Amino acid sequence: MQFLEFNPAQDFRLLLLALFLPLAGYVIQIFVGRHLPRRGDWLLIGGMFVTMCITVLMFAKSLYAAYHGVEFRWHSGDDANLWFHWLYSSAQAAGGTENMVAGIFYDPLGAAMLAAVGVVSFCIHLFSSGYMQGDKRYHIFFANLSLFTFAMLGLVLADNILFLFVFWEVMGLMSYLLIGHFAHDQGSGFHGWATWASKKAFMTTRVGDVCLLVGILMFHHHFHTFRFTELWEAARQAVAANAGVFPSWMTVAGLFVFGGTVGKSSQFPLHIWLPDAMAGPTPVSAMIHAATMVAAGVFLLGRMYPLMSPEALTVVTVVGAFTALMAASIGITAWDLKAVLAWSTISQLGFMVAAIGLGSVTAGLFHMVTHAFFKACLFLSAGSVIHGCHHEQDMRLMGGLWRKMPITFACMLTCTLAIAGIPLFSGFYSKDMILMAGYERLLEPEHSGGTALFATLALSAAACMTAFYMFRMIFLTFFGEFRGGEQGGMYKAELVAHGRGGYIVYHDDLGKPQHSGDLRLHAHGHGAHGHDDHGHGGHAQAHVPHESPLNITLALAVLAFFGLFGGHFWLLQGDPLLHHSKPWFVQAVSESKLYGAEVGEWLAPEPIGEAAVQAAEQLEHSAHSSALYTSLFVATSGIALAFLLYFLRRTWAPRIASALGLLYRTVRDRYYMDELVRVTVIRPSFALASFSAAFDRVVVDGLVNLAGRTGRGLGFFSAWFDRTFVDGAVNGVGAVTQVFSSAVRLLQSGRVQQYAAFAVAGGLLAAVWLILL
Amino acid sequence: MGLEAYVAVSAALFALGIVCILVRRNVLYVLMGIEMILNAANINFVAFNRFGSGGIDGQMMAVFVIILAAAEAAVALAIVLNVFYLFHSVKPSAADFLRE
């Protein structure tokens, strides 16, 4: 097992290789991808495969170290040769804290995250080679995916928050480009929506990014460093110097940093961009929802956790728990297959954020990793279903697909069980830990309070809803009779007649409201079917759903495997269920392993004394059993309810919906958040813009025009004076000369004989004068 | 015959020469007019020498003038030739570039 030993000098090179392979792939693909065979996808998939192998190897090393009790936490700054001196002033010695020196920071969390990014990204690349076949901008799509992966890998490996921010912004840009992938394809039917959604995603996350930058600068202003390790230590010392209480500025700065998470991880109230991000191609949705982008926000929170004051964490908890509950409730009402998954992502992100707010940073990060696998699998399965159903996304037009797409169904069911929190599946372990964190808070006398109660109740309810809407999706999509295709025509027409609720209303460039669903109906109508554009023609029966090709199902199978086993490895120390050992993540990642021994001890102090140890054990045990019972109960009840409403008694669900009336419509229309934002932010912004445009036009332009007109008037006068007086004087001289010369001119006839005659006459005159006088 | 007769012939020849220069429409006649004026002068030279101081000064001067006239005629004819080439005309009124 020597290759699993921790070896910084070699690991450093491997990590750099893993980081820069996608970047190199991006550069090659951008310049020559168009001319390569298969438009270069094999190049990027191959590069991503190498990256995945490296990340998985590094992850294996971290697990190996964790199970052998070896510290696996490595900062390239420990060896001065492995630093990248980016910017430093000569006034400071090289490596001084004021200088921006970038390095690689690698710890168990980074290892887990990196492996998740590597595996998921590889699977998405593989999936895209089937799903995006025939796309006009196929090579650009792959290039962007690769750069997206590069940004996420860089973000995970950054050893200071400034570089994290740089990669964070690169990711924002890539999300813009990828969500707007169809914006360049006028004929795709997604054109308007994609344009709008990419702008929305970019602008909304920008709000969070500005907050994050402010937070970073506040911390730098006080601690004079960007590096995580130094920030954590500085925070510990600052709190110790302040008699164990967080200084109030740290609460403010922590909330600003959390603002970045709210934007990137789409927490309330900046969650509005994520559901629209499904305007991009399905692999992009998988990428954004699983491995990159939204995970970055939670990852940031994990990295900055020691800097968050209890007050800030309260806000984090409430926002996270509220988001989890709200998004789950909207997910129940969504009809679009991808929209259900989008809302479930927001809800799960709420779980992670709430867990970190509740003080269990490991639970939140664990859920982030398991979620990355099963959500990627779910999205890609949804993509496979959409692909198989010829780009129909409405679950009301699906049904009975399990017979036609067995592999997709198996993968999707596996991951749905994982997200619903069924024991043995990965999601169960992480979600159980989050609920346990809530119960620990609730049962602990000194921390118990409204926040913990709210968080525990909201998260339990959200977990129940998660199980419900995920199985609603499964039953609607894979069971019952098939409602799409030719026989779905009437059903489709009925949907149009009754209004297709639950669709996204967006505003096109002219400000006219558009329905994404209606657009799709046009784009994929019966006659002009968009299917052949997407490459796998040659079907006799164009409307019959079919299983997807091998590269798609292979990617699904890999992800489903991780979705199943991502929560527990019994490879090393036995089955956690049988031996009551903790999941691998808890073994590999803990506060002291994440933040170093000193900071870890400060964050999660070990109980001292017999009684305290026993009390802690007692607390953990009761929290654990409460969480276990709760999560089992909510998961089974949610699934049972879905089974009842969408399998046994299918007519009940519409009746319940109409009975709820206004409540149902409010939830279905996303609590009118988009409308609220339009009224409170977008309209005032536009009003401000038109006011300043008017101000510009009237006042500023007026002043400029006034100056111009004055100059013009003066110029006219000056020109007139010039013409009249100056030119007049000059012309006068000329005219006078001309008058005189015209008389003299007559003499100059040019005729020699005339001149001779004058000469003779002159001579005669002279003679006369001489003779007579 | 006295001196007056010679001078009268000379004056008449001179006047004819002047008129010829002024009124003829052909450059060659103008040149002939010049020759007449020169010869009027020659008559005067010879006549005044005969009725004046004696010797042959007048005759010598006349010979010089004749030589001069020959040279002048050569140059003038060359000019006329060039004028003809330039204006395709032998009219003195045609060559009026000096007017400009």
The chain A residue lying nearest B97, using CA atoms, is A750
Q: Which residues lie closer than 8 Å to A442 by C-beta, 6 or more apart?
A: A448, A452, A453, A456, A623
Q: Which residues lie closer than 8 Å to A305 by C-beta, 6 or more apart?
A: A356, A361, A594, A595, A603
Most B CBs within 10 Å, among A741, A742, A745, A753, to test the B interface: A753
> Which of A278, A85, A287 is CA-nearest to residue A171?
A287
The pLDDT tens digits for A481-540 are 777 665 555 555 555 544 444 445 555 444 455 555 443 443 333 333 333 334 443 343
**A569: its two tokens:** 């490895």
Q: What is the pLDDT of residue A513?
A: 53
Estimate the crossing angle of helix A294-304 against helix A361-388, to 10 degrees: 170
Q: Which amino acid is at A165?
A: F
pLDDT (average), residues A242-257: 88
Q: What is the pLDDT of residue A534?
A: 42
Q: How far is CA A663 from CA A283, A671, A765, B41, in A?
A: 34, 9, 130, 140
Q: Between B64 and A655, name the one with better pLDDT.
A: B64
> Which of A320, A362, A358 is CA-nearest to residue A442?
A358
Pairing of strands A513-515, A505-507: antiparallel
- pLDDT tier, A1 (very low <50, low <70, confident <90, very high otherwise): low
Closest CA of chain B from A772, distance in Å: 19
* Identity of the residue in B21, B99, B100 whose CB atom sits nearest the CB atom of A756: B21
Q: What is the pLDDT of residue A500?
A: 45
The chain B residue lying nearest A750, using CA atoms, is B99
The chain B residue lying nearest A749, using CA atoms, is B99
What is the number of alpha carbons within 13 Å of residue A705 lying toward its C-beta?
7
pLDDT (average), residues A173-192: 80
* Identity of the residue in A748, A750, A757 whose CB atom sits nearest the CB atom of B22: A757
Most A CBs within 10 Å, among B19, B20, B21, B32, to test the A interface: B21
Q: Between A198 and A486, name the one with better pLDDT.
A: A198
- For residue A623, pLDDT over 70 is answered with yes
**A118: its two tokens:** 């590597």
Q: What is the pLDDT of residue A346?
A: 92
The pLDDT tens digits for A125-165 are 988 888 887 777 888 888 888 999 999 999 998 888 888 99
Question: CB of B96 within 8 Å of any CB in chain A?
Answer: yes
Q: What is the pLDDT of residue A497?
A: 47
The size of the A-B interface in CB pairs under 8 A is 29
Q: What is the pLDDT of residue A519?
A: 39
| Residue A121 contacts residue A44 (beta carbons within 8 Å) | no
Q: What is the pLDDT of residue B100?
A: 59
* Identity of the residue in A749, A750, A756 whose CB atom sits nearest the CB atom of B22: A756
Q: Please give the domain boundaries of chain B with CATH numbers for all domains.
A: 3-90 (1.10.287.3510)
Question: CB of A751 within 8 Å of any CB in chain B?
Answer: yes
Whole-number Å distance between alpha carbons of A133 and A533? 9
Q: What is the pLDDT of residue A520?
A: 42
Most B CBs within 10 Å, among A741, A742, A747, A751, to test the B interface: A751
Q: What is the pLDDT of residue A183?
A: 80
| Residue A22 contacts residue A30 (beta carbons within 8 Å) | no
- For residue A84, pLDDT over 70 is answered with no
First to last CA, chain A: 147
Most A CBs within 10 Å, among B18, B97, B100, to test the A interface: B18
- Domain locations in chain A as residue ranges: 485-533, 673-772
| Residue A317 contacts residue A354 (beta carbons within 8 Å) | yes
Question: CB of A94 within 8 Å of any CB in chain B?
Answer: no
Chain centroid to CA B42: how far? 10
Q: What is the pLDDT of residue B15?
A: 92
Angle at Cα A402 formed by Cα A399 and Cα A406, nearest 5°? 150
The pLDDT tens digits for A437-472 are 888 888 877 766 788 888 889 999 999 999 999 999
Q: What is the pLDDT of residue A78?
A: 62
Q: Between A678 and A54, name the one with better pLDDT.
A: A54
ipTM: 0.82
| Residue A160 contacts residue A227 (beta carbons within 8 Å) | yes
The pLDDT tens digits for A667-708 are 877 788 888 888 888 888 889 999 999 999 999 999 999 999
pLDDT (average), residues A570-579: 50
Q: What is the pLDDT of residue A30?
A: 86
Alpha helices in A425-532 (DSSP H): 426-443, 450-478, 489-497, 516-523
Q: Which residues does chain A have within 8 Å of residue B18's beta carbon, measured at their own beta carbons?
A: 760
Q: What is the pLDDT of residue A214?
A: 93
Q: Do A760 and B96 make contact, defined as CB atoms within 8 angstroms?
A: no
Q: Which residues does chain B have within 8 Å of residue A756's beta carbon, measured at their own beta carbons?
A: 21-22
User: What does pTM read for this prediction?
Assistant: 0.76
- For residue A319, pLDDT over 90 is answered with yes
Q: Which residues does chain A have within 8 Å of residue B99's beta carbon, measured at their own beta carbons?
A: 748-751
Closest CA of chain B from A760, distance in Å: 8
Q: Which amino acid is at A475?
A: F
Hey, how many other C-beta atoms are within 10 angstroms of the C-beta on A337?
Answer: 27
- pLDDT tier, A425 (very low <50, low <70, confident <90, very high otherwise): confident
Question: CB of B86 within 8 Å of any CB in chain A?
Answer: no
| Residue A170 contacts residue A296 (beta carbons within 8 Å) | no
The pLDDT tens digits for A716-735 are 999 999 999 999 999 999 99
| Residue A204 contacts residue A301 (beta carbons within 8 Å) | no
pLDDT (average), residues A187-207: 81
Q: What is the pLDDT of residue A276?
A: 83
Whole-number Å distance between alpha carbons of A250 and A219? 8
> Which of A451, A450, A459 is CA-nearest to residue A430?
A459
- For residue B22, pLDDT over 60 is answered with yes
Q: What is the pLDDT of residue A272?
A: 86
Closest CA of chain B from A740, distance in Å: 17
| Residue A291 contacts residue A235 (beta carbons within 8 Å) | no
- For residue A660, pLDDT over 60 is answered with yes
Q: What is the pLDDT of residue A486?
A: 58
- pLDDT tier, A645 (very low <50, low <70, confident <90, very high otherwise): confident
Average pLDDT, rounded, for chain A: 81
**A121: its two tokens:** 């990204």
| Residue A408 contacts residue A556 (beta carbons within 8 Å) | yes
The residue whose two tokens read 């001084």 is A96
Q: Between A751 and B77, name the one with better pLDDT.
A: B77
